[in-house]
Amino acid sequence: KGSINAVYGITVSAVFYVFRCLLGLDVPNNSGCLKPITIIAPEGTVVNAKSPAAVAAGNVETSQRIVDILFGALAKAMPEIIPAASQGTMNNITIGGFDPFRKRYFAYYETIGGGTGALSNRDGVDAIHSHMTNTLNTPIEALEYTFPFQVMKYEIRENSGGTGKFNGGNGIIREIKVLCDSEATLLSERRKTSPYGLNGGKSGKEGKNLLIRNNEQILLPGKCSISLRANDIIRIHTPGGGGFGKP
């Protein structure tokens, strides 16, 4: 149910990414890297979906769960190089409709960075994409020039990284006011469970999606589609990374 199913290729890519991170740079990227690894993913499951299963979120969200699970499972064996959990979501947001100012239809899609997990020897990184995400940041000026939006806030989400001997990276707060009626879809994870810490480090803060309408804050689920009115505000709090080691 839903679009969180991943096709087999996504599962293989996530597994390969994890183990590739653990190899030295002197090892080339080729099919030989995967030969020692056996992937058991029965057909018809969430990690090997078949038609007509919906799979849009498998690429952008379920792949992150696979990465988190594998790094977490390997953490005790390789604590010196395995990081605590990073934000673990792309924080996908799409908004579309008719722009009355430019007299044209528009479609906006962006993913938003967050905090990375701390390592055994350094803090996590603030406000950046990690693991299976790699999209660019959209500058405020470009966003407001192209779409009927006003960016009210774009800042680091202070104290959202988990504390530890080394702290997790902080997430982001991105707040967009829509200037006309439109439709929005949010596709995100880590809204109920926090990115884990390691070796006594604390978890990072989970994310939060908010609709602000007439000065009232309405908590939105991690995955939803909503109709927006002119001057509504969508506020996204992205997760922080987990901490490493006892504070």
Tell me: the pLDDT tens digits for 176-217? Answer: 999 999 999 999 999 999 999 999 999 999 999 999 999 999
Residues 16 and 103 occupy one common structural domain: no
Q: What is the pLDDT of residues 41-95, one digit of tens each?
A: 999 999 999 999 999 999 999 999 999 999 999 999 999 999 999 999 999 999 9
Domain that holds residue 172: 83-247
The pTM (predicted TM-score) of the whole model is 0.94
Q: Which region holds residue 230: left if phi is over 0, alpha if psi is between -120 and 50, else beta?
A: beta
221 upstream amide cis, omega within 30 of 0: no
Is the sign of the CA dihedral 64, 182, 234, 178 positive or negative? positive
Closest CA to 147 of 56, 79, 228, 26: 228
Q: Are residues 56 and 119 in the same domain?
A: no
pLDDT tens per residue across span 114-162: 999 999 999 999 999 999 887 888 899 999 999 999 999 999 999 999 9
Q: Classify strands 104-110 and 92-99 as parallel, antiparallel or unpaired.
A: antiparallel
**Residue 88 sits in the same domain as residue 52:** no
Number of domains present in the structure of the chain: 2
Closest CA to 168 of 64, 68, 86, 71: 86
| Claim to verify: residue 91 and residue 145 sit in the same structural domain | yes
